[in-house]
């Protein structure tokens, strides 16, 4: 809030402007009571438990879906790598990709190994989390 004073003397008028100190942010009065009831706390715990259960189910379904997709992708990558090896040895026709990063058989074999490793680790994680949830 600004303070504006007008001082009037005999011969001249002076305008004096001054600032009054105020806090940067004043708390607004709340219409909500600060007291929480026991039923509110219980319902909050139920809600958080339900969210945790939904997240756990979703993560298991996502892991199972990824496993179902990663294993065939690893097989396809391995077949592409073998095709490139056979094309280099002259046992097969021309490889689909003639230049660039994916024209090397090592890339395709490494990709197949990485995809299968990821798939196996997801299977292990899924069985571990199922065993853990059954114990609790």
User: Cα–Cα distance between 115 and 72 in angstroms, integer?
Assistant: 9
User: Cα–Cα distance between 65 and 96 in angstroms, integer?
Assistant: 29
User: Cα–Cα distance between 44 and 36 in angstroms, integer?
Assistant: 11
pLDDT value, residue 91: 93
pLDDT value, residue 26: 56
pLDDT class for 117, splitting at 50, 70, 90?
very high
Q: Tokens 């490889």 sit at which residue?
A: 95
63: three-class secondary structure by DSSP: helix
Bridge partners, 14 (sequence order):
7
pLDDT value, residue 7: 47
Residue with the larger pLDDT of the pair 26 and 115:
115
Q: Tokens 């490793």 sit at which residue?
A: 117
pLDDT value, residue 9: 47
């Amino acid at each position: 809030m600004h303070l504006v004073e007008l001082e009037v003397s005999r011969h001249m008028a002076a305008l004096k402007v001054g600032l009054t100190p105020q806090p940067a942010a004043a708390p607004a009065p709340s219409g909500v009571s600060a007291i929480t009831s026991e039923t509110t706390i219980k319902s909050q715990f139920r809600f958080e438990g339900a969210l945790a259960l939904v997240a756990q189910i979703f993560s298991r379904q996502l892991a199972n879906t990824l496993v179902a997709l990663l294993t065939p992708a690893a097989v396809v990558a391995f077949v592409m790598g073998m095709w490139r090896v056979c094309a280099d040895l002259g046992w097969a026709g021309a490889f689909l990709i003639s230049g660039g990063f994916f024209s090397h058989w090592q890339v395709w074999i490494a990709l197949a190994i990485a995809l299968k490793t990821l798939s196996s680790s997801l299977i292990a994680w899924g069985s571990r989390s199922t065993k853990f949830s059954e114990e609790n």
